[in-house]
């Protein structure tokens, strides 16, 4: 049994859980905010994209780690 | 670690330099021009807005001026009309008075003349009558003097009247 | 399916190794330079075409910079716009067909001299040979096989590019911080040693975020293309029909990600810059 394959899969699989939840929260809150006051949709979108970029970075680190494992 | 990620200092520096070149070229050829163009556009827009407000200001002032002029003109016209009415009334009164005066004067003159003429006529008539009476009397006297009876009668009558007037 | 984390070496220009990703980044740079010179050469008062796009991007960053940093922000718009333009151009060039698939097969000729020495026990030798592949490439039994070397590779799918950008940005930010606040004021930010660590982690996160997104996109597209080949076999008609459903959405996603990452890189630069750059407003408070 080749454990490196498992390690790669676990690295990205577990690493994507947190960012996944985080992205969901960010998106949901952004939709909520837009629903509450739609006139600032543009600003909310910018902030949301920035937050998503930060959150996504965590998943990207996991991906990089899983790619480095060999 | 760095090797397994493929990081090579030479390549890193090369990429940095190429980005620096890109930044320099874009800044020099493109962004500086965009910068000036945007500034010009902003200045133009600001100028247009300022012009607009000034024009509006002027228009307002002009309108007010016009309104004031209208008001003044109307007032003047009113005043002139009143004046004209007054003047007309005055003239009318004057004319009427003048006319009356002249008419009165003429009437007086006419009356005077009429009186004069009356007087003249009376004098004339009396003259005429006198001469007529004289001539009649002369004729009658001439006729009656030849008749002694009439003469006596006459004398008697006149004596009678004298007697009566004495008594 | 073979995806390399490193850029492949194409040839050596003297001591300088020309890799496929630096070739792509040169192409993107050259494209932008030519566009800039052409547009800047006949710059019109009333914009049209490409000039309009450049002005739109410039104005977008001008708006954001002045919103974050006040009037001083307009000074940094050229850097933000250049970052955005370079990243988005190289990302979109990386999605084009031919990038990653156009290339040539290369055989390591130097290694083939004694590769036929042990042809019999190929499977048995595989593990030990892989272990000391770096030490003695001659014993690698894959050395005789041709290796595919793509001619182009997305410029940002190479950590050299992304780290070069990240380091430039961080150096720029600190130089601007020192310039605006003075050295002693600027160093006052780093009384806590954790702050220094955070500065290095900023570089890492900048570099890895861009690299990870672009590289993951490439992996995704390659995986989808492999699935497509597995499903359709060799039927070209099926390839066209199913490919439209399988690969096209991911191509669109990659175009979107390319834009978002360029935007995010510039935005993060702006917000990190605003942490250290003292504007006139904050100076008057002191």
**pLDDT tens digits for B134-157?**
888 888 877 776 777 877 887 888
pLDDT band (50, 70, 90) for residue B21: very high
The pLDDT, as a whole number, for residue C27 is 92
C4 is a domain residue? no
**CA atoms of C214 and C92, how far apart (whole Å):** 10
Say how many C-beta atoms besides its own lie within 10 A of residue C161's C-beta.
Answer: 32
Rounded alpha-carbon distances, angstroms, from residue A27 to A36, A53, C18? 14, 12, 42
Tokens, residue C177: 């911080």
Q: Neighbours of B (≥3 Cβ pairs closer than 8 A)?
A: A, C
Closest residue in B to A65 (Cα) is B5
C273 is a domain residue? yes
Structurally, how many domains does chain C consist of?
1
Chain B residues with CB under 8 Å of C81 CB are 26, 31
Contact C86 B38 (CB under 8 A): no
Q: Are A39 and C250 in contact (CB under 8 A)?
A: no
Best mutation target, C163, C205, C210, C261, to test chain A (most A CBs within 10 A): C205
**CA atoms of B127 and C206, how far apart (whole Å):** 156
The pLDDT, as a whole number, for residue C1 is 53
Chain-wide mean pLDDT for chain B? 88
Q: By the CB < 8 Å criterion, does A4 face chain B?
A: no
C238 is a domain residue? yes
- Tell me what the mean pLDDT of segment A34-46 comes to: 88
Q: Are A56 and C271 in contact (CB under 8 A)?
A: no
3-state secondary structure string, C48-98? CCHHHHHHHHHHHHHHHHHHHHHHHHHHHHHHHHHHHHHHHHHHHHHHCCC
- Tell me what the mean pLDDT of segment C13-39 comes to: 89
| Residues 41-70 (A) with a CB less than 8 A from some CB of B | 68, 70
Structurally, how many domains does chain A consist of?
1
Tokens, residue C63: 């708006």
Q: Are C66 and C74 in contact (CB under 8 A)?
A: yes
Tokens, residue C213: 């997104």
Out of A52-56, B3-7, C13-17, C252-256, least confident range: B3-7
Which long-range CB contacts under 8 A does B28-33 form with residues at least 24 apart? B29/C36, B29/C37, B29/C39, B29/C40, B29/C41, B30/C36, B30/C39, B30/C40, B30/C54, B31/C58, B31/C77, B31/C78, B31/C81, B31/C82, B33/C40, B33/C43
C128 is a domain residue? no
pLDDT in tens, C187-238: 888 888 888 888 888 888 888 889 888 888 888 888 888 888 887 777 777 7
Structurally, how many domains does chain B consist of?
1
- Tell me what the mean pLDDT of segment C32-49 comes to: 85
Burial of C226 (0-12, 13-18, 19+ CB in 10 A): exposed
Chain-wide mean pLDDT for chain C? 79
Alpha-carbon C56 to chain mean position: 23
- Tell me what the mean pLDDT of segment C245-274 comes to: 89
Task: CATH number of the domain at A46, please.
Answer: 1.20.20.10
Residue C250: CB partners within 8 Å, gap ≥ 6?
A: C220, C221, C224
Contact A46 C268 (CB under 8 A): no
Alpha helices in chain C (DSSP H): 20-41, 50-69, 77-95, 122-131, 159-181, 183-187, 193-232, 236-246, 248-276, 280-285
Name the residue among B12, B22, B37 with its Cβ closest to that of C32. B22
pLDDT in tens, B24-48: 999 888 888 888 888 888 899 999 9
Is residue C13 predicted with pLDDT exceeding 90? Answer: no
> What is the domain range of residue C231?
9-107+146-285
C123 is a domain residue? no
Rounded to the nearest 10°, the torsion over CA B150, B156, B161, B166 is: 160
Which residue in this structure is represented by tokens 């991911």?
C250
> What is the domain range of residue B140?
2-166
Chain A residues with CB under 8 Å of B4 CB are 68, 70
Closest residue in C to B12 (Cα) is C160
Q: By the CB < 8 Å criterion, does B4 face chain A?
A: yes
């Amino acid at each position: 049994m080749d454990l490196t394959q498992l390690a790669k899969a676990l690295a990205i699989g577990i690493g994507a859980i947190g960012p996944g939840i985080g992205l969901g929260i960010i998106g949901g809150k952004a939709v909520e905010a837009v629903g509450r006051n739609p006139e600032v949709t543009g600003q909310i979108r910018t902030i949301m994209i920035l937050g998503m970029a930060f959150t996504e970075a965590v998943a990207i680190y996991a991906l990089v780690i899983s790619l480095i494992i060999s | 670690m760095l090797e397994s990620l493929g990081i090579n200092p030479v390549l890193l520096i090369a990429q940095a330099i190429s980005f620096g070149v890109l930044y320099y070229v874009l800044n020099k050829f493109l962004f500086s021009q965009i910068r000036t163009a945007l500034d010009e556009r902003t200045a133009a827009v600001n100028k247009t807005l300022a012009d607009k407000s000034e024009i509006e200001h002027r228009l307002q002032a002009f309108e007010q001026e016009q309104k004031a002029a209208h008001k003044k003109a109307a007032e003047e016209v009113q005043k002139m009309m009143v004046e004209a009415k007054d003047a007309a009334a005055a003239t009318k009164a004057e004319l009427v008075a003048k006319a009356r005066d002249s008419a009165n004067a003429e009437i007086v003159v006419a009356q005077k003349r009429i009186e004069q003429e009356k007087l003249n006529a009376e004098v004339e008539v009396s003259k005429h009558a006198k001469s007529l009476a004289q001539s009649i009397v002369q004729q009658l006297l001439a006729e009656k003097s030849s008749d002694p009876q009439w003469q006596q009668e006459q004398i008697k009558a006149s004596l009678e009247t004298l007697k009566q007037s004495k008594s | 399916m073979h995806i390399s984390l490193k850029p492949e070496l194409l040839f050596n220009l003297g001591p300088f190794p020309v890799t496929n990703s630096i070739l792509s980044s040169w192409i993107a740079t050259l494209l932008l330079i030519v566009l800039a010179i052409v547009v800047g050469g006949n710059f019109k008062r009333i914009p049209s075409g490409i000039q309009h796009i450049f002005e739109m991007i410039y104005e977008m960053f001008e708006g954001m910079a002045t919103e974050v940093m006040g009037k001083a922000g307009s000074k940094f718009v050229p850097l933000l716009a250049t970052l955005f333009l370079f990243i988005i151009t190289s990302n979109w060039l990386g999605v084009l067909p031919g990038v990653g698939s156009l290339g040539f097969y290369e055989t390591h000729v130097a290694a083939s001299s004694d590769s036929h020495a042990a042809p019999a026990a190929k499977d048995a030798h595989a593990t030990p040979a892989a272990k000391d592949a770096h030490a003695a490439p001659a014993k690698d039994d894959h050395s005789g096989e041709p290796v595919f070397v793509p001619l182009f590779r997305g410029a940002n799918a190479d950590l050299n590019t992304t780290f070069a950008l990240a380091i430039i940005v961080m150096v720029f930010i600190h130089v601007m911080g020192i310039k605006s606040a003075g050295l002693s004021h600027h160093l006052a930010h780093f009384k806590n040693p954790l702050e220094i660590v955070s500065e290095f982690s900023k570089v890492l996160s900048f570099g890895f975020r861009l690299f990870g997104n672009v590289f993951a996109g490439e992996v995704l597209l390659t995986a989808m293309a492999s699935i497509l080949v597995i499903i359709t076999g060799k039927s070209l008609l099926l390839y066209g029909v199913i490919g439209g459903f399988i690969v096209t959405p991911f191509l669109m996603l990659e175009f979107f990600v390319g834009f978002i990452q360029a935007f995010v890189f510039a935005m993060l630069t702006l917000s990190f810059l605003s942490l250290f750059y003292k504007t006139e407003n904050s100076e008057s408070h002191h």
